[in-house]
Amino acid sequence: MTDLQIIGSEEWCIFENLGIPAIKARVDSGAKTSSIQATNIKVVNRGAQEWVKFEVNPLQENRSITIPCEAKLVDRRMVKSSSGISEERLVVRTLVKMGEHKFDLELTLANRDTMEFRMLLGREALMDRFIVNPAESFQVQSFTDDEVNKKYAPFYKEKTGLKIGLLASNPNLYSNKRIMEAAEARGHEIVFLNAELAYMKLDAHSPEIRYRGGNILKEYDAVIPRIKPAVTFYGCALIRQFNTLGVYCQNSAEAISQSRDKLFSSQLFAKNDIHIPITGFAKSPMDTKDLIKMVNGAPLIIKLLESTQGKGVVLAETNKAAESVINAFKSVNTNILVQEFIKEANGQDIRCFVINGKVVASMQRQAEKGEFRANIHQGGKASIIKITPEERKLAQKAAKVLNLAVAGVDIIRSNKGPLLLEVNSSPGLEGIENATGKDLANAMIVAIEKKLRFHN
Ligand SMILES: Nc1ncnc2c1ncn2[C@@H]1O[C@H](COP(=O)(O)OP(=O)(O)OP(=O)(O)O)[C@@H](O)[C@H]1O
Ligand SMILES: [Mg+2]
Ligand SMILES: [Mg+2]
């Protein structure tokens, strides 16, 4: 017993094989296995042996130093988190150095829980080596702040770009992948933020945004909101919070929420002398007949107030059909608008991509045979189109009225001239980049640089 070394409640560990020069561990005899905070965990096969690639932020309250690590995978274990949910944790084995002691250590990769300490040293590591004196710290070896800083000096990246957050839901979407790619290519740091995993502290003195696990999101220069319709309400609250924290948001919460409300945005367009197809809206089914007459009768279009990808857009061919569809929606308290059908468009519409007030790309969409909706999701085919100066002006004005820095503006060609159909605040990139060959993701990042007067 007597030749066991005494250790304190916190100690420095060195992992030469992982490339971690020093990491402070909480000695935790309550835990069997040791654990380390790890993100971006990936299992890779090397012959018969499985390895794990992961990243460690070894310093407390410092996410700017990230060390990419690799170690042998030795086990997968189910652990119960404090909230009672079981999840799989990977266990790796690697060499640790603590003062004169060098030994193989099993480490659980803890990817989610908030860890004040980036590492816990459990019983297995202590057994037959150390005796814990919880009243003391750094009994094995101790480093001054200066020494720690020196060890980490090579890891400090010189900050050359902006720090951008992509506030969205699915990192695998074409548009999101392209935006991440474009920001990185221009030398910025971009972080994918799942809107539903962020939460806020509302406080006059120290407002915050935190992320699942407890990290505080700070030092962001800009946020690109790509909020899906299902999370508009919460996403916009987050954007306002980023704004409060002084972060530039490429589209504002106000602009996004008003563009999502087809009735409200139609009112804004009408008020600003932007031509739209004749549109009616009524609360009561008592007036349905007159509502139909008001938009010049069938065939007419019925639209759910909040819809995308053409899913909530219906063509009613006769007055009778229109009346029953309208009243059916009303009987389930669904808000709809009724609109004159632009037959002469022949299933075509025009999508203009507007950035900072300019149309930067445009395409024509042609509906599938037998379909009037030109949406790509409804089988529409895209092609390049040269828009008229009038259409360009219409698109730019619509984006301006809604105060959107990035907008997808849909226009339909009618006998009365171009009419505005709607404006999208998170226009998709795939269809229009493929059709036009333009790098719109790059244009979005350049637009942020311009707004922030950033020069590299
Ligand atoms: N009044 C109309 N007359 C003729 N065709 C129309 C009319 N309104 C819509 N369409 C067709 O239906 C498609 C879908 O309509 P709209 O863009 O209003 O709906 P959406 O579901 O919001 O689509 P998005 O995915 O573009 O947000 C349009 O792109 C157009 O091709
Ligand atoms: Mg829409
Ligand atoms: Mg549309």
pLDDT at 81: 65
345 falls in which pLDDT band (50, 70, 90)?
Answer: very high
CA-CA distances (angstroms) from residue 102 to 14, 17, 73, 117, 163?
9, 12, 20, 21, 39
pLDDT at 50: 93
Question: Model confidence over 309-340: pLDDT tens digits?
Answer: 788 899 999 999 999 999 998 898 888 899 99
pLDDT at 116: 72
Tokens of 168: 């969205």
157 falls in which pLDDT band (50, 70, 90)?
Answer: low
DSSP letter at 147 equals H
- Cα of 372 vs centre of ligand 2, distance in Å, is 15
pLDDT at 164: 98
Question: Model confidence over 366-408: pLDDT tens digits?
Answer: 999 999 999 988 899 999 999 999 999 999 999 999 999 999 9
Nearest partner of 96 among 62, 122, 78, judged by Cα: 122
Q: Which ligand is nearest to the CA of 312?
A: 1
pLDDT at 110: 85
Q: By alpha-carbon position, which residue is closest to atom 4 of ligand 1?
A: 342
Q: How high does pLDDT run on average in the chain?
A: 92
Inter-residue contact 79 to 86 (CB < 8 Å): yes
Inter-residue contact 426 to 339 (CB < 8 Å): no
Q: By alpha-carbon position, which residue is closest to atom 12 of ligand 1?
A: 373
CA-CA distances (angstroms) from residue 281 to 311, 394, 434?
19, 23, 37
Inter-residue contact 226 to 193 (CB < 8 Å): no
Inter-residue contact 394 to 274 (CB < 8 Å): yes
- Cα of 410 vs centre of ligand 3, distance in Å, is 6
| Euclidean distance between CA atoms 251 and 246, whole angstroms | 14
Lowest mean per-residue pLDDT among 142-146, 158-162, 232-236, 313-317 = 158-162
Q: Of all residues in the chain, what percent carry a pLDDT higher than 70?
A: 96
Where does ligand 1 bind, in terms of residues with CB under 6 Å?
Answer: 277, 301, 303, 307-313, 339, 341-342, 345, 349, 372-375, 410, 412, 421-422, 424
- Cα of 61 vs centre of ligand 3, distance in Å, is 45
Q: Which atom of ligand 1 is nearest to the CA of 309?
A: 25
- Cα of 398 vs centre of ligand 2, distance in Å, is 14
CA-CA distances (angstroms) from residue 276 to 176, 364, 394?
31, 18, 10
Asked if pLDDT for residue 1 goes beyond 60, the answer is no
Instruction: Tell me phi and psi for residue 396, to 5 degrees.
Output: -70, -35
Question: Model confidence over 426-438: pLDDT tens digits?
Answer: 999 999 999 999 9
Query: What strands, in cross-sheet order, belong to the sheet with 336-340?
Result: 279-280, 336-340, 300-304, 313-316
Question: Model confidence over 289-313: pLDDT tens digits?
Answer: 999 999 999 999 999 887 777 888 9
Q: By alpha-carbon position, which residue is closest to atom 10 of ligand 1?
A: 373
Q: Spell out the alpha helix ranges (H) of 161-231.
A: 174-185
Q: Which pairing describes strands 5-7 and 67-80: parallel, antiparallel, or unpaired? A: unpaired
Query: 3-class DSSP state for residue 245?
Result: coil
pLDDT at 63: 65
| Euclidean distance between CA atoms 262 and 306, whole angstroms | 7
| Euclidean distance between CA atoms 90 and 110, whole angstroms | 8
Q: By alpha-carbon position, which residue is closest to atom 5 of ligand 1?
A: 342
Q: Which atom of ligand 1 is nearest to the CA of 421?
A: 18
Q: Using most ligand atoms within 8 A of CB, pick from 266, 343, 373, 420 the residue to mutate for ligand 1.
A: 373
Q: Using most ligand atoms within 8 A of CB, pick from 375, 404, 413 the residue to mutate for ligand 1.
A: 375
The residues with which 50 forms a beta bridge, in sequence order, are 45
pLDDT at 282: 83
2 falls in which pLDDT band (50, 70, 90)?
Answer: low
The residues with which 54 forms a beta bridge, in sequence order, are 69
Q: Which helix (H) or strand (E) holds 237?
A: helix 232-244
Query: 3-class DSSP state for residue 324?
Result: helix
- Cα of 336 vs centre of ligand 2, distance in Å, is 13
DSSP letter at 251 equals B
pLDDT at 254: 97
User: With the C-alpha atoms ordered 86, 118, 152, 215, is the resulting torsion angle positive or negative?
Assistant: positive
Asked if pLDDT for residue 112 goes beyond 70, the answer is no
Inter-residue contact 426 to 228 (CB < 8 Å): yes
Q: Which ligand is nearest to the CA of 346?
A: 1
Across the range 1-15, mean pLDDT stands at 89
pLDDT at 115: 60
Count of other CB atoms within 10 angstroms of residue 300 = 26
Residue with tokens 């992961």: 54
pLDDT at 60: 79
Across the range 217-230, mean pLDDT stands at 95
247 falls in which pLDDT band (50, 70, 90)?
Answer: very high
Q: Of all residues in the chain, what percent carry a pLDDT higher than 90?
A: 77
- Cα of 276 vs centre of ligand 3, distance in Å, is 13
- Cα of 423 vs centre of ligand 3, distance in Å, is 7
150 falls in which pLDDT band (50, 70, 90)?
Answer: very high
- Interacting residues of 147 by C-beta distance below 8 A, sequence separation 6+: none
- Interacting residues of 441 by C-beta distance below 8 A, sequence separation 6+: 175, 178, 179, 181, 182, 429, 433
Q: By alpha-carbon position, which residue is closest to atom 27 of ligand 1?
A: 308
| Euclidean distance between CA atoms 171 and 173, whole angstroms | 6
Residues with CB under 5 A from ligand 3 (ion): 410
Nearest partner of 260 among 210, 324, 308, 323, judged by Cα: 308
Tokens of 410: 């849909």
| Euclidean distance between CA atoms 426 and 175, whole angstroms | 9
Lowest mean per-residue pLDDT among 4-18, 119-133, 153-167, 249-263 = 153-167
Q: Which atom of ligand 1 is nearest to the CA of 374?
A: 31
Q: Which helix (H) or strand (E) holds 102?
A: strand 101-110
| Euclidean distance between CA atoms 191 and 29, whole angstroms | 36
Domains defined along the chain, listed by start: 5-155 (2.40.70.10), 163-251 (3.40.50.20), 278-341 (3.30.1490.20), 344-446 (3.30.470.20)
**Identity (one letter) of the amino acid at 273?**
D
